[in-house]
Amino acid sequence: MLPRAKKNTTHPVQNPYAQYGVPLGKATLRALEKRGIYCQTSISVEHQHLAKRYVLRGVESGGAVSDMGRYCAFLDVDGTSISWLQPIDSISGNGRHAIIVSPELVRIEMFRVGRTYELAITRHALQARDGGNKPVMISSLLFRGREGTLARDLQNQENRGLRGVVTPTFFSESGEPRQVPAAYEEAIKIITGAVNMTACKRAVIALPPKVSPPASFQYREVQA
């Protein structure tokens, strides 16, 4: 059962980073579009008619070119991967990779220019409203990393083996290293690799759904 929102609350005030992730200006968005990198960070509230419930819908997407990368993925709240609803194939890559549907999501978004990284980790859940209307999405900011750096350039051939192994270092305004949430550290490593993966054509976080083995049957040769 969803927690109910306070009476007369229709649009709770939320941190803009929690709602929208890493803020990017028009010039940056144009640069990403020019390079053919498409990253869909928005999350929508959808109704499942058969299950008679509301869920959140996100799209794992993104990729990289040599000088720039952006990636968005979704996890369970405990940091584990979520099975996709369906994969999305494309010819060029660096676009949409998989559709994710769940009552609650953690979104990890990373943006890279050269060797400088931006990171936003946000949690999203549904909150019921009085009167049985469509629930609202409540978002909270778990981590915001600004101007992170990596000692190694993962675009160099000799450093590509470090993709999925290392993460940028983020600092506080006073110059102290900031620790990313431990539950999402492995996912951040993978996404750091993804924003350095040229022409990314597959999901790196979402997993194929588990398929039950088919019922046993007796093979019978077809006669010509």
- 222 pLDDT band (50/70/90 cuts)? very low
pTM of the complete model: 0.85
Question: Which pLDDT value is given to residue 202?
Answer: 93
Question: Which pLDDT value is given to residue 46?
Answer: 95
Sign of CA dihedral 138, 22, 159, 185: negative
- 128 pLDDT band (50/70/90 cuts)? confident
Cβ-contact 81, 48 below 8 angstroms: no
- 2 pLDDT band (50/70/90 cuts)? very low
What does pLDDT average to over the chain?
Answer: 87
What distance in Å separates the CA atoms of residue 4 and residue 168, rounded to the nearest whole number?
38
Question: Which pLDDT value is given to residue 116?
Answer: 95
- The mean per-residue pLDDT over the stretch 25-37 comes to 96
- The mean per-residue pLDDT over the stretch 35-42 comes to 95
Residue 216: pLDDT over 70? no
Residue 39: pLDDT over 70? yes
For the stretch 144-179, pLDDT in tens is 999 999 988 898 888 888 888 999 999 999 999 999
What distance in Å separates the CA atoms of residue 109 and residue 212, rounded to the nearest whole number?
32
- The mean per-residue pLDDT over the stretch 91-103 comes to 94
- 8 pLDDT band (50/70/90 cuts)? very low
Amino acid present at 89:
D
115 SS3 class = coil
- 9 pLDDT band (50/70/90 cuts)? very low
Tell how far CA 75 is from the center of its chain.
7
- 6 pLDDT band (50/70/90 cuts)? very low
* Nearest one of 64, 167, 86 to 121, comparing CA atoms: 167
Question: Which pLDDT value is given to residue 162?
Answer: 87
What distance in Å separates the CA atoms of residue 65 and residue 94, rounded to the nearest whole number?
9
Q: Which residues pair with 57 in a beta bridge?
A: 44, 101
